[in-house]
Structure 1
Amino acid sequence: MVDKPSLSQSSGYVGHNTAVASALDASRLDVISPYDGTIVTCVHEASVKEVQEAVARACAAQPAMAELPGFERARRLRAAAESLRRDSAELAALLSRETGKAIRESRVEMARAADVISLSAEEATRIAGRQIPLDASPVGAGKLAVSQRFPIGTVGMVVPFNAPVNLSCHKLSPALAAGNTCVLKAPPEAAGTVDRLVGHFLQAGFPDGAINLLQGRAQTGQALFADERLGFLSFTGSLRAGKAVKEAAGMRPCTLELGGLGPTVVHSDANLELAASACATSGFRLAGQSCASVQNIFVHTDVATAFKKMLVARVEALKVGDPLDPQTDLGPVINLAAAQRIVERIEAAVRAGARCLTGGHRDGTMVEPTVLVKASLDSQVVCEEIFGPVVIVHEYCNIQQTFDWVNATGYGINFGLFTESVSIALQAHRSVIAGAIIVNGTSTFRPDQIPYGGDRLSGYGRESPADSVRAMTRERLIVFQ
């Protein structure tokens, strides 16, 4: 077993000053373990004035940050990555305690996050412009045009609870690599974890005020993104909140990573053992609380019976329990309201004719891994992101009709496809509107260096260290006549 971290107090915002919540502070925000109901961390929730002060600090630090050479930004990022690696065991335990994430998954998240910082450090030394071939037209003959990329300014960021360390690093690290300053709002469910993470960046030696952390709930994020001094907005979260962020952005550039329905197809020629194992893992990792989590599995009718038998056996072998136990596969969902919502969706689907092959119940915040079949394609459990440990298996005969259904939902992050046919894979690539088509893998596949993101209802833009650095810089041309 992993030792449980003790109750800690965290700063409300980080810059030149910190504000710590006291027991009698009306702005105190408690982080409560979804597993045992204990208070893990208490933080000071930022007021609107403190949000504005954090943005002002970041804007004031922007000139110093922009003047920092690329190799110096890279050096500081590498220092932050190494510091995080040294702290990974304790930080992973805190993350599991705050959010209920299985400790094995928390440890993986720490390693990935450190790698994201290191990858961003490399990008800090690769920011380059381009030469435009003006002699391609008569008007440009004898002239020279070159461009350079400059920092976009102060970047506002909001991350969710399900992968707060890795997602924070996906926003902070490229922004700093590009020479920007940052204001990050932590998720209230993982406030202490993100506070501790930001400390590693602060200790790396970036200019004072370059990195600012806000603690709070939705209204804190709304106040942050409403501030017109921000040059770029980066948001990961729900579709509803994402629409509000897009409206707040106005003419400002932004990236939005929103929800999905986790579509994965198992074709008649698929390796069923591989597909069943991958779906059992990817549908229930993070207790299904991921925008890319496998939710809808479409299986060719010729292999459906065999696949469902394999899938159910693997799902029933998953261990649900204490998130700090290394043997646990999935812990609780984030809170009681989420658990109630998930089970209500399951029960509504069953009343409408769906059948539950396994699971379907809860004990407090612990929701059983659930496999449904015979759910209507227009039912809520199918067409809306459930964000819980539930997968729905559908049967199909015509694969193009399955592709068409996926497109009709409006969502499109990753699309998983198990097949041995290159032609089927290419058909999916041509047909399915999604950020990526993952052949012989599921919708959760995300190495941190690939351009990750969705289209339409699933978001806007792509995130990776390289893609984010480019998005968070402005191209400026100079022409010599």
Structure 2
Amino acid sequence: MSFPSGLPIGAGWVETDSASVRFPYDGSEIGTAPVATVELAHAAIDAAVAVRPEVAALPSRVRRQALLAVRDELAARRGDFESLLVLETGKPLVDCRVEVARTLVTLEAAAEEVARLHGETVPLDLLPSGDGLIGFWTRRPIGVVVGIAGFNYPLLLAAHKIAPALAAGCPIVVKPAPQTPLATLWLVQLFRQALESVPAAVQLVTGDAAVGSALVTDPRIGAVSFTGSAAVGHRIAKDAAPRKVLLELGSNAALVVAADADLDAAVDAVLRGGYYASGQACISVQRILADESIVDRFVELLAARLTEVVVGDPRDERTRVSALIDPASTDRVLSWIGEASAAGAQVVAGGGRAGRSIEPTVLVGTADGVAAWDEEIFGPVVSVRRFSSLAEAWKTVNASRYGLHASVFTRSLATAFEAIETLEVGGVIVNEVPGFRSDTMPYGGVKDSGVGREGPRFAIEELTVTRMAVIRPS
């Protein structure tokens, strides 16, 4: 990793204390990362406020070229980024490769959207008072953006904060998760190199909740973009008010298997969508609702193929499940499995440890009121329930406090459109995993899954405000 020591704050790098970054698979130290203080968080906002006019005035071509330059530099070092992500997240190599590939798409898409940032004319003469007036609106940068990313996809999530902010003409201060700062730190350095005339356009601070609070409560910021847990997101929304917040929070994504579904395809979707990133994805399959006429066969097929989900060292290309981000997360997931079992769920497969990892787990009959069904488990665990009618299935999906993505497997176009019309989620995926996400589509949830939308085009709209112009020619 070729960047200076310390934190990128203002025009330079500020030396700070450091903390260990550990490989979740075996707990070994892979490096150290700088740790910010509340005072440094304030300094970063000071610097962002100071360069705000300069960033807003950057020509479209300069913003576009910077985004493309970062994309090119990242592409040239993609293998290094993939290896680093494996080490700091503990996520399997196959998932880290996907993360880097998606980051490249995100950067290029944001660059393309710079050319589409425009306004419209308005017919002011719909009222007599508007006769002779010319009206039009443009989009202007919302101001300083604070971007806070989760640990599970640190590079991609940071790119979804930084790239739209820069495309919109906003300076940004990004805060990665304490466990996974290194890939984001490197990404920020690439941006600062691409914007050498105004490096403070992109800054980074690390640290604890107090540092995060100092960022989101500063009255000089324009918006906060946060990806993480619902509990933290709700607190940020309160602390940041009345400034704009974009919240991409948790979920317990449902997959509905209708009576006419292709069962092999549905089972394949669970194997791919329930255990990727070791289950640490907000739209991974968690709740499976299968029609009573096929549920037993579905569970039988799923259990028979579970050996395809290889548990092991995340550096191994064959691995699909490895250690969770830290031992506390592992203990929590195992306790939720135990709670579900005590409440009557059948552990069809897994349920225990495999070294520092958790075995791919299938629960059947998980009850309401149990965390493994109601909350976001964020581990390699899926729960299966039966239903007797599609109306019952839709009602069960919608009963959750979350609503990010859901999917339905069916051969019926009528059933597919019924799901699209009925399910209270941000995205309905038909005959594919709920974890499907193209980085150019609008992405976000409803209810406790958040507010606002990501995807470069949509995030740029969120990070700009309309400015109306009314002119009476002299």
Q: TM-score range by the shorter chain?
A: over 0.9
Letter of the 2:119 counterpart = G
Alignment-derived partner of residue 96 in structure 2: 106
| Residue 17 in structure 1 maps to residue 12 in structure 2 | yes
1:229-260 alpha-carbon deviations (Å, 9 max, x no partner): 11110000001100111001211111000010
| Residue 180 in structure 1 maps to residue 170 in structure 2 | yes
**Aligned equivalents of 2:369, 2:291: Cα separation in 1:** 19
1:19-75 alpha-carbon deviations (Å, 9 max, x no partner): 345xxxxx4221111111111121221111100001111111111111111111101
Alignment-derived partner of residue 381 in structure 2: 390
SS at match of 2:184: helix
**Aligned equivalents of 1:316, 1:208: Cα separation in 2:** 49
Which of 119, 130, 138 is residue 148 of structure 1 equivalent to? 138
8 A Cα contact 2:26 2:356, kept in partner: no
8 A Cα contact 1:10 1:192, kept in partner: no
The 1:180–1:230 alpha-carbon spacing in structure 2 relative to 1, beyond 3 Å, is same
Which of 133, 148, 152 is residue 158 of structure 1 equivalent to? 148
8 A Cα contact 1:339 1:364, kept in partner: no
| Residue 35 in structure 1 maps to residue 18 in structure 2 | no
Alignment-derived partner of residue 284 in structure 1: 275
1:372-392 alpha-carbon deviations (Å, 9 max, x no partner): 001113322101111110000
Structure 1 window deviating more from structure 2 (401-410 vs 80-89): it is 401-410
**Aligned equivalents of 2:273, 2:304: Cα separation in 1:** 15
Q: CA deviation at 1:430?
A: 1.8
1:60-95 alpha-carbon deviations (Å, 9 max, x no partner): 111111111111110111001000111110111011
Alignment-derived partner of residue 443 in structure 1: 434
8 A Cα contact 1:15 1:213, kept in partner: no
8 A Cα contact 1:316 1:358, kept in partner: no
Equivalent residue runs for 1:422-437 within 5 Å: 422-437=413-428
Alignment-derived partner of residue 195 in structure 2: 205
8 A Cα contact 1:20 1:43, kept in partner: no
The 1:373–1:150 alpha-carbon spacing in structure 2 relative to 1, beyond 3 Å, is same
**Aligned equivalents of 2:342, 2:5: Cα separation in 1:** 46
**Aligned equivalents of 1:231, 1:49: Cα separation in 2:** 20
| Residue 74 in structure 1 maps to residue 64 in structure 2 | yes
**Aligned equivalents of 1:312, 1:95: Cα separation in 2:** 30
8 A Cα contact 1:183 1:211, kept in partner: yes
Equivalent residue runs for 1:332-347 within 5 Å: 332-347=323-338
Q: Number of paired residues?
A: 471
**Aligned equivalents of 2:352, 2:286: Cα separation in 1:** 17
| Residue 463 in structure 1 maps to residue 454 in structure 2 | yes
Which of 404, 418, 428 is residue 409 of structure 2 equivalent to? 418
The 1:137–1:270 alpha-carbon spacing in structure 2 relative to 1, beyond 3 Å, is farther
Q: CA deviation at 1:124?
A: 1.1
Letter of the 1:428 counterpart = A
Which of 268, 276, 291 is residue 259 of structure 2 equivalent to? 268
Q: CA deviation at 1:368?
A: 0.5
Letter of the 1:11 counterpart = G
**Aligned equivalents of 2:168, 2:396: Cα separation in 1:** 40
Structure 1 window deviating more from structure 2 (202-211 vs 445-454): it is 202-211
Which of 316, 323, 329 is residue 314 of structure 2 equivalent to? 323
Q: CA deviation at 1:449?
A: 0.5
Letter of the 2:12 counterpart = N
1:319-351 alpha-carbon deviations (Å, 9 max, x no partner): 111111111112111111111110111011111
Structure 1 window deviating more from structure 2 (78-87 vs 129-138): it is 129-138
Amino-acid identity (%): 37
Q: CA deviation at 1:364?
A: 4.8
Alignment-derived partner of residue 24 in structure 1: none
Letter of the 1:12 counterpart = L
Q: CA deviation at 1:139?
A: 3.5
8 A Cα contact 1:369 1:390, kept in partner: yes
Alignment-derived partner of residue 289 in structure 2: 298
SS at match of 1:80: helix
| Residue 128 in structure 1 maps to residue 123 in structure 2 | no
**Aligned equivalents of 1:255, 1:335: Cα separation in 2:** 27
| Residue 167 in structure 1 maps to residue 157 in structure 2 | yes
Q: CA deviation at 1:479?
A: 1.1
Structure 1 window deviating more from structure 2 (214-223 vs 224-233): it is 214-223
Structure 1 window deviating more from structure 2 (168-177 vs 426-435): it is 426-435
Equivalent residue runs for 1:364-375 within 5 Å: 364-375=355-366
| Residue 230 in structure 1 maps to residue 221 in structure 2 | yes
SS at match of 2:396: helix
Alignment-derived partner of residue 344 in structure 2: 353
8 A Cα contact 1:10 1:41, kept in partner: no
**Structure 1 residue ranges without an equivalent (≥5):** 22-26
Alignment-derived partner of residue 52 in structure 2: 62
8 A Cα contact 1:9 1:192, kept in partner: no
**Aligned equivalents of 2:7, 2:200: Cα separation in 1:** 15
1:358-414 alpha-carbon deviations (Å, 9 max, x no partner): 100014530111000011133221011111100001110111122122222121001
SS at match of 2:77: helix
SS at match of 1:302: coil
Structure 1 window deviating more from structure 2 (129-138 vs 55-64): it is 129-138
**Structure 2 residue ranges without an equivalent (≥5):** none
**Aligned equivalents of 1:416, 1:217: Cα separation in 2:** 36
Q: CA deviation at 1:447?
A: 0.3
Alignment-derived partner of residue 195 in structure 1: 185
1:201-221 alpha-carbon deviations (Å, 9 max, x no partner): 111125131110011132221
RMSD after superposition: 1.6
